[in-house]
């Protein structure tokens, strides 16, 4: 799933090359397209979905109707609107956690990959972090600070960081011995410039692939934490919250639990497809089929 | 200018095998042992030897890509082996390196123009126009068309890539270029072109070269002086004509005899040197060459032969062929060539 990706470059990878590269990899198109669709739907939610927090005690646990397309939950709130607005939370937490884990992991990985003395200490700390269960760490952090999206993102990003750092470190260890890095040093380049110009670009493919994996797992972790009641505050609609509050009414109003559940599965699927596609795209040795 | 451009004094590099955190003594690889030589401005010194004899380590030590265990590297009298990193920066301009592999020594993500102007941009800011002018100028110097500056290395041939490597080295106007097997990865015809380019540049710009090679044909063509290395030590250092005409150290003799000569009329001397280069982790006692040397005597097993200066300007480290007179400071020996290797082995 997160095997180290060694990108063997045949030339420079430009942003403008990405669409052409992607067009040869259907997984990238499928995953990326689905994810983009979800993001647009979530962003445009106020345009077409109703109010996700408005409660109507007289319309509790209603079946789907013209007014409320997926019915209502136990407090009379519009399940469709809540599902759509819940996508915002999932995507926000997923993407931001992945981005922060990727940034911090990149920084730590590059430094550890380049500096022998730092490497030993930092990678042992990373090993330690890896052994902490994500859910437990998040519960501990949120108990300390109180629920909030910011702390949730931090709590999810911390345990994901070591995997990114390890991957980046392994790429940097491989690249730093390349003669062109030595040539840059001979040419009088300072270390920051060598890192920025000659080493960092090589880590980008691995980082993108790992980022997708982290994103998928962050979305699931967020849902799990919200389900447990330590995720986003209960007044904010999120898929985890919805599944948690609806599980008692599964028999009466199944839509209240199916809608967020299906959305969650589709989102994670989209991100995973994208990640697998990117891995195939960047790794020329990966076989397309089996 | 007083003194030589480059003076290397007792340069030594030992690589520890593993970290000695828990063990008291750790074995070391004696990659370079007590190497000394000088290079004058505008001169070509070639370093030859088998694989693993420490040639490339010498190059990396000169560029200070690795830190020496001991010894000094003096450029115009300044010891760059002991300079602090930030002072070293300024001295990078004086010497540049051309790498062996024209494929992996160029960043595949940068264009030719970016690659060859990068060293200059480490020292001064260039605007777009200056950068293009510099790139065009450098490309012309190495015989390439200025339009090539927008190409990626993957779009160029091996010879063109190596020209880029040379252009990159030239960009800082160095007085010394270290070429580590700079032509050995190229086809023979391309090799000749690149060698001619290097010779032209030397004549035009007065650049000195330290040229590291295992190819004696190439060395004979370009060297002013040749240093022969064996297992981390220089065993013979001589002017090129003298070395090829009359090798004194038995290893040099064997090396020259083993080199293919594209001349059917020239009689090949069959020199018998058998076996492998010993491990630099546990080098033989005394003269490192004695286990393979047909001339070896008892003294070779015990005592490391010193480099003895000889009348024709060469230095040789051999107890048999160049016995030291024992008078330090004025040891002049005449080569004892009475017993050629071929006579001993009966070939």
- pLDDT per residue over A17-38, tens digit each? 777 777 778 888 899 999 999 9
Contact A288, A280 (CB under 8 A): yes
Q: What is the pLDDT of residues A49-88, one digit of tens each?
A: 888 888 888 888 888 888 878 888 888 888 899 999 999 9
Stated as kind and residue range, the H or E segment containing B2 is none
Nearest to B119 by CA among B140, B97, B137: B97
Cβ–Cβ below 8 Å for B101 and A184? no
Sheet holding B78-79, edge to edge: B28-39, B6-16, B70-75, B78-79
pLDDT of residue B211: 94
Q: How many residues does chain A have?
A: 290
Mean pLDDT of chain A: 85
Among B92, B100, B107, the residue with its CB nearest the CB of A188 is: B92
Q: What pLDDT, on the 0 to 100 scale, is given for residue B80? A: 85
Number of other residues whose CB lies within 10 A of the CB of residue B42: 16
CA B336/CA B228 separation, integer angstroms: 19
Of A182, A189, A193, the CB nearest to B65: A182
| Residue A252 CB contacts under 8 Å (≥ 6 apart), including other chains | A61
What pLDDT does A169 receive? 94
Comparing A102-111, A147-156, B10-19, B240-249, the range with the smallest average pLDDT is B10-19
CB atoms within 10 A of CB B65: 15
Q: Sorting pLDDT into bands at 50, 70 and 90, what band is B202?
A: very high
The secondary structure of A248-276 as a DSSP string is GGTTT-THHHHHHHHHHHHHHHHHHHHHH
| B223: CB partners within 8 A, 6+ apart | B44, B45, B46, B211, B240
pLDDT of the residue at B273? 66
Task: Provide φ and ψ at B180, rounded to 5°.
Answer: -95, 100
Mean pLDDT for the stretch of residues B236-258: 88
Residue B194 CB neighbour total at 10 angstroms: 24
- Given a cut of 70, whether residue B325 has pLDDT beyond it is no
DSSP string, B176-238: EEEEESTTTTS-HHHHHHHHHHHHHHHHHH--EEEEEES-HHHHHHH-SEEEEEETTEEEEEE
CA distance B58 to B71: 12
Q: What is the mean pLDDT of chain B?
A: 84
Who among B93, B99, B104 is closest to A188 (CB)? B93
C-alpha–C-alpha distance, residues A1 and B79, integer Å: 52
pLDDT over threshold 60, residue B345: no
With beta carbons under 8 A apart, name residues in chain B contacting A13: 109
Cβ-Cβ contacts under 8 Å, B89 against chain A:
188, 190
Tokens 């003096």: give the residue: B74
Instruction: Please name which of B159, B110, B89, B183 lies closest in space to residue A187, comparing C-alpha atoms.
Output: B89
Per residue in B151-189, pLDDT (tens digit) is 888 889 989 999 999 999 999 999 999 999 888 888 888
Residue of A10, A11, A186 with shortest CB distance to B97: A186
The 3-state DSSP class for residue A42 equals: helix
Q: Are the C-beta atoms of A104 and A79 separated by less than 8 Å?
A: no
The residue-averaged pLDDT of B221-233 equals 92
Residues of A with Cβ-Cβ distance to B172 under 8 angstroms: 187-188
Cβ neighbours of residue B182 closer than 8 Å, sequence gap 6 or more: B98, B99, B100, B162, B165, B166, B194, B198, B211
How far apart CA B70 and CA B121 sit, in angstroms, is 32
Rounded to two decimals, what is the model's pTM? Answer: 0.79
Beta strands B44-48 and B225-230, pairing class: parallel
Alpha carbons A54 and A76: distance in angstroms, whole number: 8
Residue in B with minimal Cα distance to A179: B105
Long-range contacts of the stretch B283-292 (C-beta < 8 A, 24+): B283/B30, B283/B231, B283/B232, B287/B317, B287/B318, B287/B319, B288/B230, B288/B231, B288/B232, B288/B233, B289/B230, B289/B231, B289/B235, B289/B249, B289/B250, B289/B251, B292/B251
Local structure of A11: helix, strand or coil = coil
pLDDT digits (tens, 9 = 90+) for A203-248: 888 898 899 999 999 999 999 998 988 888 888 889 998 999 888 8
Tell which of A187, A193, A195 to mutate to test the B interface (max B CBs under 10 Å). Answer: A187
Q: What are the CB-based long-range contacts (under 8 Å, 24+) for B149-153?
A: B149/B111, B149/B112, B149/B113, B149/B116, B150/B111, B150/B112, B150/B113, B151/B111, B151/B112, B152/A11, B152/A12, B152/B108, B152/B109, B152/B110, B152/B111, B152/B112, B153/B103, B153/B106, B153/B107, B153/B108, B153/B110, B153/B112, B153/B115
Quote the CA–CA distance of B36 and B306 in Å, as a whole number: 12
DSSP character for B291? Answer: G
**B88-134 confidence digits (pLDDT tens):** 888 888 899 999 888 889 998 889 999 999 999 999 898 999 999 99
Q: Do A183 and B105 touch (CB under 8 A)?
A: yes
pLDDT grade for A46, boundaries at 50, 70 and 90: confident
Predicted pLDDT at A133: 87
As a whole number of angstroms, the distance between CA A150 and CA B197 comes to: 62
Backbone phi, then psi, for B66, in 5-degree steps? -125, 150
- Which is it for strands B208-213 and B6-16: parallel, antiparallel or unpaired? unpaired
Please tell me the distance in Å from A13's CA to the nearest CA on chain B: 7
Is pLDDT of B237 > 90? yes
State the angle between helix axes of A26-43 and A255-282 in degrees (0 to 180), rounded to the nearest 10.
140
Domains with residue ranges and CATH for chain A:
26-39+78-282 (1.10.3720.10)
Closest-CA residue to B92 (of B196, B192, B168): B168
Mean pLDDT value across residues A261-268: 94
For residue range B46-90, what is the model confidence (pLDDT) as tens digits? 999 888 888 889 999 999 888 899 999 998 888 888 888 778 888
Rounded to whole angstroms, how far apart are CA atoms A211 and A99? 7
Q: Is the ipTM of this complex over 0.95?
A: no
| C-alpha–C-alpha distance, residues B202 and B204, integer Å | 6
| Nearest CA distance, A107 vs chain B (angstrom) | 21
DSSP code per residue over A162-179: HHHHHHHHHHHHHHTTSH
Q: Lowest mean pLDDT: which of A89-93, A282-286, B35-39, B245-249?
A: A282-286
Six token digits for residue B242: 């003298």
Query: Cβ–Cβ of A179/B118 closer than 8 Å?
Result: no
């Amino acid at each position: 799933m997160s095997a180290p990706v060694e990108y063997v470059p045949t030339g420079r990878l430009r942003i403008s090359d990405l669409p052409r590269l992607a067009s040869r990899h259907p997984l990238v198109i499928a995953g990326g397209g689905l994810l983009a669709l979800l993001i647009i739907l979530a962003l445009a939610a106020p345009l077409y979905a109703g109010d996700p927090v408005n409660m109507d005690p007289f319309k509790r646990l209603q079946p789907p109707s013209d007014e409320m397309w997926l019915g209502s939950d136990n407090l009379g709130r519009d399940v469709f609107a809540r599902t759509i607005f819940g996508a915002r939370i999932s995507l926000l937490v997923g993407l931001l956690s992945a981005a922060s884990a990727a940034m911090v992991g990149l920084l730590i990985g590059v430094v550890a990959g380049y500096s022998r003395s730092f490497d030993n200490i930092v990678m042992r700390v990373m090993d330690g972090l890896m052994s902490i269960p994500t859910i437990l760490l998040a519960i501990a952090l949120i108990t300390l600070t109180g629920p909030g999206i910011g702390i949730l993102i931090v709590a999810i990003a911390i345990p994901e960081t070591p995997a990114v750092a390890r991957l980046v470190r392994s790429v940097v260890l491989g690249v730093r011995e390349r003669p062109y890095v030595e040539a840059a040093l001979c040419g009088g380049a300072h270390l920051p410039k060598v890192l920025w110009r000659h080493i960092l670009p090589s880590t980008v493919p691995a980082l993108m692939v790992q980022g997708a994996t982290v994103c998928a797992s962050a979305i699931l972790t967020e849902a799990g934490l919200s389900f447990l009641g330590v995720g986003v505050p209960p007044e904010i609609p999120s898929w985890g919250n919805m599944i948690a509050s609806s599980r008692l009414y599964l028999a009466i109003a199944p839509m209240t639990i199916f809608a967020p559940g299906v959305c969650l599965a589709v989102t994670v699927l989209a991100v995973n497809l994208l990640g697998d596609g990117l891995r195939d795209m960047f790794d020329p040795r990966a076989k397309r089929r089996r | 200018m007083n003194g030589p451009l480059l003076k290397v004094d007792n340069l030594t590099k030992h690589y520890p095998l593993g970290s000695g955190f828990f063990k008291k003594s750790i074995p070391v690889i004696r990659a370079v042992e007590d190497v000394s030589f000088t290079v004058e401005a505008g001169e070509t010194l070639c370093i030859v030897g088998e694989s693993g004899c420490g040639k490339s380590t010498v190059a990396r030590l000169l560029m200070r890509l690795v830190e020496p265990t001991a010894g000094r590297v003096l450029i115009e009298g300044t010891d760059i082996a002991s300079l602090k990193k930030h002072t070293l920066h300024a001295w990078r301009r004086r010497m540049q390196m051309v790498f062996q592999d024209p494929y992996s020594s160029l960043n595949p993500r940068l264009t030719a123009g970016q690659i060859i102007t990068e060293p200059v941009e480490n020292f001064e800011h260039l605007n777009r126009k200056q950068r293009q002018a510099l790139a065009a100028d450098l490309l012309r110097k190495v015989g390439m068309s200025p339009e090539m500056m927008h190409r990626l290395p993957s779009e160029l041939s091996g010879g063109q890539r190596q020209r880029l490597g040379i252009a990159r080295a030239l960009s800082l106007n160095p007085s010394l270029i270290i070429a580590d097997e700079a032509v050995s990865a190229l086809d023979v015809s391309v090799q000749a072109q690149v060698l001619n380019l290097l010779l032209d540049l030397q004549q035009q710009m007065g650049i000195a070269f330290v040229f590291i090679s295992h190819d004696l044909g190439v060395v004979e063509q370009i060297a002013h002086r040749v240093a022969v290395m064996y297992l981390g030590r220089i065993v013979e250092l001589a002017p090129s004509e003298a070395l090829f005409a009359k090798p004194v150290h038995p290893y040099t003799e064997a090396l020259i005899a083993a080199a293919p000569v594209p001349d059917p009329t020239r009689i090949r001397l069959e020199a018998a040197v058998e076996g492998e280069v010993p491990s630099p982790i546990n080098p033989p006692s005394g003269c490192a060459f004695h286990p393979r040397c047909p001339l070896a005597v008892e003294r070779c097993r015990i005592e490391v032969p010193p480099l003895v200066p000889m009348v024709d300007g060469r230095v040789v480290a051999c107890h048999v062929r160049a016995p030291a007179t024992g008078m330090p400071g004025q040891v002049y020996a005449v080569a004892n060539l009475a017993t050629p290797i071929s006579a001993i082995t009966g070939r």
